[in-house]
Amino acid sequence: MTYLTRATAVAGAVLAAAGLLAAGPAHAAPRDRHLGNWLHLTLTKGDAGPGAARGTVLLCDPPQGHARAAEACAELDAADGDISRIPPKSIFCPALYAPVTAHARGRWNGRPVDFRQTYTNTCVMNARTGAVFALDT
């Protein structure tokens, strides 16, 4: 009986050790590559797939990422990082159908941001999103 108890204990210890080895080494939780307020911005024109998208990373401490980064960061700061809360500009846009999809993902004040919207054309997008997606200027 003693032999069976020792054998059972040894087998249990071997199985427990094997389970720990199979689990692999512990890894640290992934961290964002960018600290502070940042957004990865992409624009896709027309019905093109994701390969046709172009974009940049907008960093706001200090503002950098495209030519109007300081203005974009100020608008985002006023809207608490919510692109849909940026006040639309009152401008005339032609009724031309040339769709553009704007996508932003990142972090603002510690909260995740994931914004995606398709606009009828670039003029309408710029009127509604301010300098955030103005990557060409």
pTM: 0.70
> What residues does each domain of the chain span?
38-129
pLDDT band at 49 (very low <50, low <70, confident <90, very high): low
Q: Given this model, what pLDDT does residue 73 score?
A: 96
pLDDT digits (tens, 9 = 90+) for 87-113: 999 999 999 999 999 999 999 999 999
Strands (E), the chain: 38-45, 54-60, 63-64, 100-108, 111-119
Residue 56 CB contacts under 8 Å (≥ 6 apart), including other chains = 40, 41, 65, 66, 135
Which 3 state secondary structure label does DSSP give 38? strand
Residue 126: pLDDT over 60? yes
Instruction: Tell me which amino acid residue 15 is.
Output: L
Q: What is the pLDDT of residues 1-37, one digit of tens each?
A: 444 444 444 444 444 444 444 444 444 333 445 568 9
Q: Considering the domain 38-129 in this protein, what is its CATH number?
A: 3.30.350.10
